[in-house]
Amino acid sequence: MLRNSANILIIISSLCFFLCCQEDEETITPPVVKDSIATDSSVAIDLKGYVQKGPFINGTAITLSELNEKLIPTGKNFTTQIADNKGSFSLKEIPIQSKYVQLQADGFYFDEVKGEKSSAQLTLFALADISDASTVNVNLLSHLERNRVIYLMQEEEQEFEQAKQQAQQEILTAFGITQDSLVSSEHLDISQDGDHNAILLAISAILQGNNSVAELSELLANLVTDLREDGQLNSETIPAQLKKQSISLDLPQIRKNLVQRYADLGVEVTIPNFEQYIDSDGDGILNKDEDDTPEEFSFTSQENVATSTELFSNEITLTGLKEEGASDAHATQSTLFINGKAMQDSVVQVRNGDNIKLQITSSSQYADTTVASLSIGTLTRNFTVITDDYLPEAISFMNQKDVAVDSWYTSDTITVRGLPYPTPTTIDNGIIVKNGIELTTDTTSIITGDKLAIKLLSHQEYYSSTSSILSINGIEAPFQLTTDNYTPDEFSFTSIKNAKRDSVYTSEPITISGLPHPTPIDIDRGTLLINGKLSGTNALVISGDQIAVKLTASSDYETALSSSIQIGASYHTISITTGLNPWQKKADIPEGAYYSLVVNDNLIAIAPSLSQVFIYSFTQDTWQTIPSVFPDEFQYFRAEMISFSIGDIAFYGLGSNPDKAYRDFWAYNPKSNTWTRKADFPGNNLAGATAFTIGDKGYIGTGKHINYLTGVPGYDEENINSLTNEFWEYDPTTNQWIQKADFPGERRHNATSFSINEKGYLLAGNLTLHTPEYAPDMYEYNPYTDQWILKAEVPEPQYAGRATSCVINSKAYVSFYYDMHQFQVYDPVGNSWILSEDDLFQDSGFSISSFNNKIYAKSYKNYLNVTELWEYTPPQE
């Protein structure tokens, strides 16, 4: 009945605690402002600690509750959370009036048995007197004692410290552990050395076993309930369960799990010797009390050892075994040496004072671990050896670029580091150069200090790579050669335009850059000049060379010829283009038109027999036919007339036909389409005379004067008076003729004449009436001095019997009827003749006029059959 009453009181107390928490709970997340909840009698304290099963995980919720002297909650609660994966927490400046507190932790934890994080949350409690403490840890011991301590203080009125000590001893007894005194549970730490910490870790491992979190929580609740009132473990099933779980524990693995966990967290810890506080064989005796287990010892691990090598551990002198007998020693993966003698059996007897060591053969693999173990009683210790990784320190070769094709190159030399043992080395292309010696095989063995290089043949193609890989136990050091692109720096040739046909031109020289190696150059047309020397169509060039191209222009107008120059991998082009065809056909001349001359912006041609005048527009390339009333004297065809224009007026006169010779003189005004007879030529009736203008006056001279027998056609050879050299000036403003100084050369007819810069020029012509005897001379006439001066002789006078001429840019263009291939061009400045570069448009005959720096040629078969008009553009100077 008393027990039931106590239970009722506990339920009521718990309900009050719950109601207080609901009504008065204060939640403070650190840092806390000091006076946020403080009262006049409060003391602000800092508190920190660890929550451990294994270490609790970041994010675990921590609740601190203030308790009165009977451990009843006062209603003040403060919260924080674990801020790392080591299980640590802290509370800053919490205002507390009582010295008793309760800590509650709810969260996930690291399961030291399974070596993994828990799958569910676990709740643990701790009671503490913080009057002289700033650190409080929460663990399984603090959790197991909690309800028992509350019971002892509330029901048996014990003091807090007395109740804590009694509850801890009762818990140790439940686990078969005898310990005269024990540090308070809230100060224990499984990551620190010491027997008390070892006891905490042993109990934690036993309780965890292979349980899930739910199963562990149930087991803890059952234990707490069983121990609460009498401090004794009365259950029949719990001891059996704890025994079973103790036997199942893999103690080395638990230690390894914890060491690895804290190492992953970057924390150096000392896991206490918890194994001695566990009864691993279930005989009711703790491991530490077994008489077949020696004192603690360990084998030192060995790292970076050679492969397939026999190695000895450090030697151990055994102590702590029973004095009167021997204990079994079991070695695995090794040979046990006792007092210097190798044991052949896997299980042998050892005694106190024996010197033991293990012999092990290292792995044949690189960076591989071999573990041997020695078990004596319950103590098992491992001897670990790890082979070297046989990996050198970082190695690399510098790639080489812009190398010559098909050439051998050697890489930079590296010195091997980090290989204490001979290590295989291979190459997949090229030659290994080891310590300055070229090897004949593609494999070798190297060690620290060796000097290595790679010899490699470059690619045969431009801008192509060849690679080699030197491999030291899988560590690869590539070496690559990349050939030069054999492309010079950008340049271009200036194309040649308006070239003369069939003429040879040489491009401007180009200085080559960007070619570090001799590079082939080829040309598909023309000839190469390298550094000023003819080099055919192919050669080798390098930076600094000057190249040029010699090309011959096409024999046709408006034709481009290109030459492709290949330098290494680059292509360049130079072109030479002949000029436009200077001859362009214009609108056909109307039939019947003849005696054309330029008046202002038009070309005037007359057709007396058709009573028509034809006017050609240079700008529109059109002919206009205008009916015109010609003088009666023009009704019959008249040959060898003279014509010229002054201002807006065209002048015609003289000439002959088979029946009659003339010396009449006429003016035609195109604007009014009227003919006006002017003063007759005062000299003889002339045919084959020549005329030119200087300023506003016309000049007429030479020719043949003939007496005709009335009514008798043809020439009367018996009545030829002769040729004439008379020379006259006509002034249209006064309509008067003035005789000037006679032409000083031989008399002639059908000469040609022109004027340049206010001077007249008379040349060529026929010296006889019927036989071809041509005049080679040319004279210059000065109207101001009325004097003649002999000038440069006509070129090729054998063709100078009959000619046509015009003037452009102060130069005369003359074409001789009997050699109509090219113009002869006269320059009065140098008194010289040159042959034009262009062929003439060819026909049976033509006459020429000039307008706007262009020549217009009238092609005809005979005097009355003018058919075509052609425009010629002289080459620009």
| Confidence at 477, pLDDT banded by 50, 70, 90 | very high
Tell me what the mean pLDDT of segment 556-563 comes to: 92
Sheet strands (E) in 473-518 = 475-483, 496-499, 504-506, 510-511
Question: Rounded CA gap, 699 and 727, in Å?
Answer: 7
| Confidence at 817, pLDDT banded by 50, 70, 90 | low
DSSP label of 222:
H
Contacts of 584 (CB under 8 A, 6+ apart): 870, 871, 872, 873
Asked if residue 331 belongs to a domain, the reply is: yes
pLDDT of residue 288: 78
For residue 561, the cross-strand partners are: 576
Q: Is the pLDDT of residue 558 over 70?
A: yes
DSSP label of 610:
G
| Confidence at 486, pLDDT banded by 50, 70, 90 | very high
Domain boundary among 229, 253, 277: 277
State the Cα angle at 56 between 51 and 60, rounded to 5°. 90
pLDDT of residue 790: 97
Asked if residue 99 belongs to a domain, the reply is: yes
Question: Rounded CA gap, 532 and 619, in Å?
Answer: 49
> Tens digits of per-residue pLDDT, 603-646?
999 888 888 999 999 999 999 999 998 888 877 677 889 999 99
Question: Rounded CA gap, 669 and 677, in Å?
Answer: 11
Q: How many domains does the chain have?
A: 4
Q: Is the pLDDT of residue 798 over 80?
A: no
Q: Is the pLDDT of residue 845 over 90?
A: no
Residue 352 sits in the same domain as residue 409: no
Residue whose tokens read 């009659």 = 660
Question: Do the Cβ atoms of 261 and 347 come closer than 8 Å?
Answer: no
Question: Rounded CA gap, 227 and 172, in Å?
Answer: 12
Query: 251-255, long-range: CB within 8 Å, 24+ apart, which pairs?
Result: 251/275, 251/278, 251/280, 251/380, 252/380, 252/382, 253/115, 254/112, 254/113, 254/205
Domain boundary among 438, 453, 483: 483
Contacts of 443 (CB under 8 A, 6+ apart): 424, 425, 426, 427
pLDDT of residue 22: 35
Residue 123 sits in the same domain as residue 249: yes
Q: Is the pLDDT of residue 857 over 90?
A: no
Asked if residue 142 belongs to a domain, the reply is: yes
Question: Do the Cβ atoms of 208 and 53 come closer than 8 Å?
Answer: yes
Give me the count of residues in the chain: 877
DSSP label of 362:
P
| Range with top average pLDDT, 426-430, 769-773, 847-851 | 426-430
Q: Is the pLDDT of residue 377 over 90?
A: no
Residue 413 sits in the same domain as residue 352: no
Which of 208-217, 251-260, 628-637, 783-792 shows the lowest mean pLDDT across its residues?
628-637
Residue that wins the pLDDT comparison between 626 and 877: 626
Question: Rounded CA gap, 57 and 334, in Å?
Answer: 40
Asked if residue 661 belongs to a domain, the reply is: no
Question: Do the Cβ atoms of 487 and 566 come closer than 8 Å?
Answer: no
Tell me what the mean pLDDT of segment 732-744 comes to: 97
Residue 414 sits in the same domain as residue 530: no
pLDDT of residue 221: 96
| Confidence at 108, pLDDT banded by 50, 70, 90 | very high
The whole domain housing 429 covers 400-483
> Tens digits of per-residue pLDDT, 489-548?
999 999 999 898 889 999 999 999 999 999 999 999 999 999 999 999 999 999 999 999
Tell me what the mean pLDDT of segment 92-106 comes to: 95
Asked if residue 250 belongs to a domain, the reply is: yes
Q: What is the CATH number of the domain that holds 529?
A: 2.60.40
Domain boundary among 356, 387, 418: 387
Tell me what the mean pLDDT of segment 414-432 comes to: 95
State the Cα angle at 581 between 575 and 584, rounded to 5°. 155
Q: What percentage of the chain has pLDDT greater than the value 90? A: 69
pLDDT of residue 162: 95
Q: What are the angstrom distances between the C-alpha of 405 and each of 42, 409, 466, 480?
A: 90, 10, 10, 13
> Tens digits of per-residue pLDDT, 305-347?
999 999 999 999 998 887 666 788 999 999 999 999 999 988 8
Residue 226 sits in the same domain as residue 92: yes
State the Cα angle at 825 between 824 and 827, rounded to 5°. 145
Residue 182 sits in the same domain as residue 259: yes
Q: Is the pLDDT of residue 716 over 90?
A: no
For residue 405, how far is the Cα from the chain centroid? 25
Shortest CA distance to 458 belongs to which of 439, 435, 486? 486
Query: 784-790, long-range: CB within 8 Å, 24+ apart, which pairs?
Result: 784/758, 786/740, 786/741, 787/741, 788/741, 788/743, 788/744, 790/744, 790/745
Shortest CA distance to 855 belongs to which of 626, 615, 596? 596
Q: What percentage of the chain has pLDDT greater than the value 70? A: 90
> Tens digits of per-residue pLDDT, 220-231?
999 999 999 999
Asked if residue 136 belongs to a domain, the reply is: yes
Asked if residue 733 belongs to a domain, the reply is: no
The H-assigned helical ranges of 343-398 are none
| Confidence at 846, pLDDT banded by 50, 70, 90 | low
pLDDT of residue 720: 44
> Tens digits of per-residue pLDDT, 180-206?
888 899 999 999 999 999 999 999 999
Residue 209 sits in the same domain as residue 110: yes
Residue 459 sits in the same domain as residue 326: no
Asked if residue 774 belongs to a domain, the reply is: no
Residue 421 sits in the same domain as residue 469: yes
Shortest CA distance to 698 belongs to which of 743, 760, 745? 760
Residue 175 sits in the same domain as residue 234: yes
DSSP per-residue letters across 776-839: --EEEEETTTTEEEE-PPPSSGGGTTSEEEEEETTEEEEEETT-TTEEEEEETTTTEEEEEEEE
Residue that wins the pLDDT comparison between 238 and 280: 238
* Mean of the per-residue pLDDT values of the chain: 88
Question: Rounded CA gap, 28 and 80, in Å?
Answer: 7
Strand 465-472 relative to strand 437-438: parallel, antiparallel, unpaired?
A: unpaired
| Confidence at 819, pLDDT banded by 50, 70, 90 | low
Question: Do the Cβ atoms of 119 and 85 come closer than 8 Å?
Answer: no
For residue 100, the cross-strand partners are: 67, 129
DSSP per-residue letters across 568-587: TTEEEEEEEEEPPPSEEE-S
State the Cα angle at 256 between 254 and 258, rounded to 5°. 70
Residue 216 sits in the same domain as residue 136: yes
Which of 194-198, 411-415, 551-555, 684-688 shows the lowest mean pLDDT across its residues?
684-688
3-state SS string over 416-472? CCCCCCCEEEEECCCEEEECCEECCCCEEEECCCCEEEEEEECCCCCCCEEEEEEEE
Residue 71 sits in the same domain as residue 192: yes
User: Other C-beta atoms within 10 Å of 7: how many?
Assistant: 12
